[in-house]
Amino acid sequence: MAVGAYGTWTDASWDWTLGVNLMATIWGIEIFGPLIEQHGEGGHIVSTASIAGLISGASNAYNVSKYGVVALSEGLRLELAPRGIGVSVLCPGFIRTQIANSRRNLPKRFEGAVRALPTSGPIAEQINLIRQRVSQGIDPNYVGELVREGVENDWPYIFTDLEFEPIVDARFAAIKQGFDRIRGRTPKR
């Protein structure tokens, strides 16, 4: 997906990232959700976010798109449960896929509008680190088995490993601390 630090963003980078990660998920649900409902036997929707849908890393556009998939899945879970449709969100960590080579799928309409990846400097080093982590990542077949188990047991969240649990815990602790800061106050109305 599009990589870029604050101050280097482009509309094209945001459009591509949001289109692939969030809008494609929305459109898929819009197409297949009614088909699931029509057969009347219930079903299950699994949307793929990322652990980046719960914790923010260096790629803001990617994080925003994946947070959106998590929010969409959480809302749909509540909305579709009475209709017999379960919803899970897959939040994988580093999986052995081709995600680091996503530019191979860059549509022609974005050619020249999405900046080339840097070959040196801090962002290039970060990209190389991600490529290395992905190349040594979790087996996709294992992830598939987790998804199957998640569907069968109606898990709201499907995680692939515990690596990022401390960071998620820290995020929720910071959120809780925000509430603690105002505890005991009476809002003016």
What's the CA gap between 27 and 23, in Å, rounded? Answer: 6
Q: Which residue has the higher pLDDT, 4 or 20?
A: 20
What's the CA gap between 41 and 67, in Å, rounded? Answer: 30
- Catalytic site residue 62? yes
Find, among 45, 35, 20, the residue nearest to 147 by Cα: 45
What's the CA gap between 140 and 112, in Å, rounded? Answer: 32
Mean pLDDT over each residue of the chain, to the nearest integer: 87
Q: Which one from 6, 62, 67, 157 is the annotated catalytic residue?
A: 62
Residues contacting 177, CB < 8 A, separation 6+ = none
Residue 55 has pLDDT above 60, yes or no: yes
Query: The tokens of 86 are what?
Result: 């379960």
| Mean pLDDT, residues 89-94 | 94
What's the CA gap between 62 and 127, in Å, rounded? Answer: 13
Residue 66 has pLDDT above 90, yes or no: yes
pLDDT value of position 1:
47
Query: The tokens of 186 are what?
Result: 């009476």
